[in-house]
Amino acid sequence: MIEESPGLNTRLLHADIDRTPYGETSEAIFLTSGFVYDSAEQAAATFLGEAQHYQYSRFGNPTTDALQRRLAMLEGAEACIVTATGMGAVSSALLSHVKAGDRVVASRALFGSCHWIVANLLPRYGVETIFVDGGDFDGWTEALSKPAAAVLLESPSNPMLDVLDIARIADLAHKAGALLMVDNVFASPLGQKPLAFGADVILYSCTKHIDGQGRVLGGAVLGRKQWIEETLQPFTRNTGNALSPFNAWVLLKGLETLPLRVAAMARNAAAVADFLADAPGILRLRYPGRADHPQADLAARQMSDGGSLVAFEVDRGKEGAFRFLDALKLIAISNNLGDARSLATHPATTTHMRVGAEERARLGITDGVIRLSVGLEDTADLIADLRRGLAAL
């Protein structure tokens, strides 16, 4: 429909729109579990793969397909499969790819449930798993000196926002014969393009920035067409990790405003980080967009902005963190992130409660650490609220 090559904002609104004869402005929702055939012959031909027809929404649905095409276009990936949740995307990507006897190498600082899959689930099925500190190149080299099936990493990491060198790790992964899978949730599809640095599989929780308005759960796996069709798709179709067409439609609406929202959130996050970095009572602060971030140069090469998350440590440990959080009036206490509303959480007692004190210490998650997901409020109002937190310290 569009002849010239339009920009990303235009494509997120107009590319590949599949309108019904009613000519609706917004995509229709095909909220149906199944599909009917004109004839028994057509049903038989569909099952043989000789006729193009939808069969059942666990296998495919026009609304979820529209979301898959839009996400693949945004990522610059050959193919995409959407799943019921972000964890559905991570678990399906790993479980469809590995078999007993394989090795999986992962960065240590992972989202809690991703860590659980690598640490607890995969070993139950005979997969050997190894964790490496994200910035430890000797560790990556050592772990990948033997063949591996997959490498899973998250950058920036949750919650301390370490930035990992995707290109360097991709190189080691490929030499070991592994696919590099990158959980790109914290950066969002606009903030970082792991495919350009050699990653093979990109994972999203669409629950975060892609919906970004606190409404639905969803996930996505992106990668090469052959891997998606031959390895991942048989797994997701037969194990039932399907996204509801309704949720797919909500996420399609989210994509229309994603570039605007993530750009505004990153601007707000940068301002908030600058304010907090100089504030009394803040012991340390991490924001990938600041020059004092431990991997600032890498972040500048690998990311197009600093993202919407800020991590900082307040004085007086857990007591200080609780006082800070409880004094906030605008910023809500919530473990979600990437939302239009700013949300703050205390990782040591929530998202990272189960990883244990020793592992938290290793990851730099002290009792005073607060993770802030910066939303779309007016910057001055956010800063006024953070002043309340600081005053309570």
- 277 contacts 379 by C-beta, under 8 angstroms: no
Distances in whole angstroms, Cα of residue 187 to Cα of each of 54, 71, 134, 310: 34, 15, 16, 12
Is residue 211 a contact point for ligand PLP (CB under 6 A)? no
Is residue 152 a contact point for ligand PLP (CB under 6 A)? no
10 Å Cβ neighbour count for 177?
13
Is residue 85 a contact point for ligand PLP (CB under 6 A)? yes
Helix (H) or strand (E) holding 82: strand 79-83
| Out of 205, 241, 244, 345, the residue judged to bind ligand PLP by CB under 6 A | 205
Is residue 114 a contact point for ligand PLP (CB under 6 A)? yes
Q: What is the C-alpha to C-alpha distance for residues 364 and 274, in angstroms, rounded to an integer?
A: 21
| Out of 97, 115, 208, 286, the residue judged to bind ligand PLP by CB under 6 A | 208
CB of 217 to ligand PLP, least distance (A): 5
Stretch that binds ligand PLP, among 2-10, 81-89, 192-200, 242-250 (CB under 6 A): 81-89
Is residue 159 a contact point for ligand PLP (CB under 6 A)? no
List alpha helices for the chain, DSSP H: 8-14, 40-48, 62-75, 86-97, 112-116, 122-124, 137-143, 166-175, 188-191, 225-227, 233-239, 245-277, 296-302, 317-327, 357-363, 379-392
Is residue 248 a contact point for ligand PLP (CB under 6 A)? no
| Out of 67, 72, 86, 262, the residue judged to bind ligand PLP by CB under 6 A | 86
Residues 277-336 that bind ligand PLP (CB under 6 A): none
Is residue 87 a contact point for ligand PLP (CB under 6 A)? yes
Is residue 217 a contact point for ligand PLP (CB under 6 A)? yes
Indicate the residue whose CB is closest to ligand PLP: 86
User: For residue 182, which of 172, 171, 197, 162 has the smallest C-alpha distance?
Assistant: 197
Report the interface residues with ligand PLP, using CB under 6 A: 85-87, 90, 111, 114, 154, 158, 183, 185-186, 205, 207-208, 217, 219, 337
